[in-house]
Amino acid sequence: MKYQRDPVRIRKVLGDKVQFIQGDMAVAYGGLVAGVSFFGGYPITPASEVAEGMARLLPRVGGTFIQMEDEIGSIAAVIGAAWGGVKAMTATSGPGFSLMMENYGYAIMTETPCVIANVQRTGPSTGQPTLGAQGDMMQVRWGSHGDMEAIALAPSTVQECLDMTIEAINLSERYRHPVCVMTDGEIGHLREKLVIPDEDEIELVERRTPKLPPGEFLPFAPSQIDGSKVPDFAAFGTGYHTYVTGLTHNEKGFPRTDKQPDHERLVMRIIEKITDDRKRFVNIEEVMMDDAEVAFVTYGASARPARSAVMDARKAGIKAGMLRLKTVWPFPRDEIMAVSKKVERIIVPEMNLGQIYHPIREYTDQACEVVMAPKIGGEMHLPHELAEYLGVRT
């Protein structure tokens, strides 16, 4: 029997509306609320709690959880389930994310809606498994081979772990693209208040199905409903006999691998379906930016000590602010450009050696000074460390 989302059952299985839970569990809750009915995953610290939550909850709402043999299999099964017509997701951390990269590219090329939650840690290699970091902010953008765009969201709170997982599912359905929720070990294991939204507080997006019959329907052409660059989706089992391949293909889905224009046309459409629409969904938060002269531009866990540091700086009379990237990819370049024209200095705190600092430099184009504020080793910046960047003397 095919999965039918039952909001009443889902809410009952999730329990109390207000809970005090970990970020990882909030990701699992978000998936359930959004109608995910397939989760394939493999244990990895600090993301295992997402799989554990799904293993406990999904069967009780009629969904399927499978612990796959590795992360390659996990993302593969997720993509298979998506073509089977359901909403599907997985969760992992750095090493597993590295293993997923080939099939992540496959999902991009075949325009498969699915979600990967990456509870980030650091590397290279095994690194510090139990500690949080932001090790994959560039891997999510460029980790698979070839040319592509990424959609990646970065939650800073437990509530956002749920909210952004729902949003990620929606974006994946709307743009037929694998969407990544780039959380981290710090937020993943933090317990915080979570309010589970009621059914009337959420909006769910469903992939659009063909309006034309088999034979006339083109599975990899711009939408035959309204010309949007996102093709309509014919799930397996609906009689369309869709052929899906990671090879460069034509609008019918048939391999066309040796002509330059065929490849360029396909890849550009896959990129532009996202970049053309960036204004619609790129999301940022501004904190005390109205009169700011110096600003943090940051995301995820790093935004938490940055927020504390901004408050400390304001108490010291320094006009500090923060631009928080809730959407990290596609890159909020217009928003960052605007900030660079307003402030004298941008400081970029990250739990890596400047993965987002470099694109910020690119898009600010020397309109203001951009300072790297990296911290590696599995600890967040201390608020006073960041306050010093703002000129607060401790």
Residue closer to other proteins, measured from CB, 246 or 391: 246
Q: Could you say which residues in the range 23-62 bind other proteins, by CB under 8 A?
A: 37-38, 40, 59-60, 62
Number of residues engaging other proteins in binding (CB under 8 A):
75
Residue closer to other proteins, measured from CB, 39 or 175: 39
Distance CA 153, CA 8 (A): 28
Query: Residue 385 in contact with residue 367, Cβ under 8 Å?
Result: no
Among positive and negative, which fits the CA dihedral 34, 37, 41, 47? Answer: positive
Cβ contacts of 32 within 8 Å, gap of 6 or more: 10, 13, 14, 54, 57, 58, 61, 63
DSSP string of 366-382, one letter each residue: TSSEEEEEE--SS-PPP
Q: Could you say which residues in the range 228-267 bind other proteins, by CB under 8 A?
A: 236-247, 252, 254-255
Taking the complex as a whole, the smallest distance from the CB of residue 329 to other proteins amounts, in Å, to 23
Q: Could you say which residues in the range 306-345 bind other proteins, by CB under 8 A?
A: 306-309, 311
Distance CA 169, CA 228 (A): 19
Identify which range of 5-13, 256-264, 346-354, 358-366 contacts other proteins by CB under 8 A.
5-13
Identify which range of 84-92, 173-181, 263-271, 291-299 contacts other proteins by CB under 8 A.
84-92
Taking the complex as a whole, the smallest distance from the CB of residue 333 to other proteins amounts, in Å, to 26
Residue closer to other proteins, measured from CB, 221 or 311: 311
Residue closer to other proteins, measured from CB, 167 or 186: 186
Residue 66 interacting with other proteins (CB under 8 A): yes
Query: Residue 344 in contact with residue 391, Cβ under 8 Å?
Result: no
Taking the complex as a whole, the smallest distance from the CB of residue 284 to other proteins amounts, in Å, to 17
Residue closer to other proteins, measured from CB, 237 or 377: 237
Of 198, 179, 135, 142, the residue nearest 8 (C-alpha): 198
Identify which range of 160-168, 176-184, 303-311, 362-370 contacts other proteins by CB under 8 A.
303-311
Identify which range of 13-21, 264-272, 335-343, 348-356 contacts other proteins by CB under 8 A.
13-21
∠ Cα 21 26 32 (to 5°): 135
128 backbone dihedrals φ, ψ, rounded to 5°: -115, 90
Residue closer to other proteins, measured from CB, 195 or 268: 195
Cβ contacts of 261 within 8 Å, gap of 6 or more: none
Residue closer to other proteins, measured from CB, 378 or 391: 378
Taking the complex as a whole, the smallest distance from the CB of residue 14 to other proteins amounts, in Å, to 12
CA distances in angstroms from 267 to 248, 278, 394, listed in the order given: 8, 17, 52
Which of 68, 119, 140, 390: binder of other proteins (CB under 8 A)? 68
Query: Residue 159 in contact with residue 107, Cβ under 8 Å?
Result: no
State which amino acid sits at residue 115.
V
Taking the complex as a whole, the smallest distance from the CB of residue 11 to other proteins amounts, in Å, to 9
Residue closer to other proteins, measured from CB, 250 or 283: 250
Of 324, 364, 326, 317, the residue nearest 345 (C-alpha): 364
Distance CA 378, CA 359 (A): 23
Q: Could you say which residues in the range 188-227 bind other proteins, by CB under 8 A?
A: 189-193
Which of 85, 123, 210, 349: binder of other proteins (CB under 8 A)? 85
Q: Could you say which residues in the range 127-166 bind other proteins, by CB under 8 A?
A: 130-131
